[in-house]
Amino acid sequence: MSDFFHSFNAVRGIQASKPCFIAMCPLRIIPKIFVFDEDEVPPEMRAQRKLNKSRLPEIANYLIENRNNYTLSSLTASIDGDTIFEPVNEFNPNMGTLKISMDARLLINDGQHRRAAIEEAISSVPELGHDHISVVFFLDNGLEQSQQMFADLNKHAVRPSPSLSTLYDQREELSIAAKKIMNGVKVFSVLTETEKTSISNRSIKLFTLSSIKNATKYLLNKGKNEPISSDEINQAIEFWKVVTEQITDWQVAYYRNVNSSELRENFIHAHAVFLQAMGIVGACVINNKHKLLKLNNLSSIDWSRRSNLWNGRAVINGRISKSLTSVKLTSNKIKEIIGLELSDSEKQLEKEIKT
């Protein structure tokens, strides 16, 4: 080992019969001691994916905007160089000081975007540098082993479903609003799937929480981080209650007098494309009592997915579509039927599909 070294308080453990170490590192030193492979190095010679710089502002802003309430998962790094672990004493052989030669190369196997975002965030808010992040160190056994580590770390990583992310998100305004709306509308409270993105045929559920969130975005015309007032949430709840009164099949499903799977198989109003389309429709009527009365016409509409009304809109080649274009075309047709005027952009979209 050289005369100069990095020193970390660490806990030693064993994985796959090999030693590993966990240490808490100040954020300010993360950009200084950890490297990731340069962009020009070909993939077969790297141990990780190419840095996607477009991801960095979102992570950095998350740290800056939530200075006192953020969470960062551990970095995973390989040590390519000399190390010494000095136990505290003979009674605590796995707690001690990890010394890493300053000549050693510390390569991040998992977390290079976090590392780069930390650097960006600290440049704006230097105080963040005094916080800590946990780092799991492995001893480097060469490029091949580092590449395998990257593959293994990412192979089993599964992102939570949008519905579950919405359910657990206590920060994003749209997520909070969607949960309040779900709980405030009787049909939604019973028939909403809060964990999965899709609904199985055996499920009694009719909606997903993520689709309610997306519909809320259109209904209240809100961006991701825009504030949503209690009055706006109450308006949304009242809007969906009016819609529920007109969609009698939802009420039948609520009382378990029909299988939800039958509704999904036969009607577009049992799909996300309808909720989001109604969100767009609702944005036109939510603040206008006269226009709100036009929702009474919903009960007379044929919602069958086999109806020509929805062909090329909510239904593409016989299958329900939830693309943005399908959502807009579906809302256009609903507006037309209940007597709401289309905007200029909506009229242009209608011209495009007819040409």
Give per-residue pLDDT as tens, 267-303.
Answer: 999 999 999 999 999 999 987 877 888 999 999 999 9
Domain end among 155, 180, 197 = 155
What pLDDT, in 10s, does the model give residues 74-92? 998 888 888 999 999 888 8
**Whether residue 334 sits in one domain with residue 208:** yes
- Percent of the chain residues topping a pLDDT of 70: 90
**Which residues form the domain of 58?**
5-155
If asked whether residues 211 and 301 sit together in one domain, one would say yes
pLDDT tens for 176-217 read 999 999 999 999 999 999 988 788 888 889 999 999 999 999
**Other beta carbons less than 10 A from residue 125's beta carbon:** 13
pTM value?
0.72
Mean pLDDT, residues 107-126: 90
Average pLDDT on 98-107 reads 87
Same domain for 233 and 287, yes or no, is yes
Q: Are residues 213 and 248 in the same domain?
A: yes
Long-range contacts formed by 162-167: CB under 8 A, 24+ apart: 162/197, 162/208, 162/210, 162/213, 163/193, 163/194, 163/195, 163/196, 163/197, 163/208, 163/209, 163/210, 164/194, 164/195, 164/196, 165/210, 166/194, 166/209, 166/210, 166/213, 167/194, 167/195, 167/209
Domain boundary among 134, 155, 176: 155
Residue 44 has pLDDT above 90, yes or no: no
- Residues 199 and 146 both lie in one domain: no
Same domain assignment for residues 138 and 234: no
Same domain, 135 and 210: no
The mean per-residue pLDDT over the stretch 322-336 comes to: 94
> Residue 249: which pLDDT band, with cuts at 50, 70 and 90?
very high
Of 39 and 244, the one with more pLDDT: 244
Say yes or no: 151 and 166 in one domain. Answer: no
Same domain membership, residue 248 and residue 166: yes
Question: Beta partners for 15?
Answer: 18
The one-letter amino acid code at 182 reads M
Of the two residues 48 and 132, the one the predictor is more confident about is 132
**pLDDT at residue 145 tops 90:** no
169 with 131, same domain: the answer is no
The total number of structural domains in the chain stands at: 2
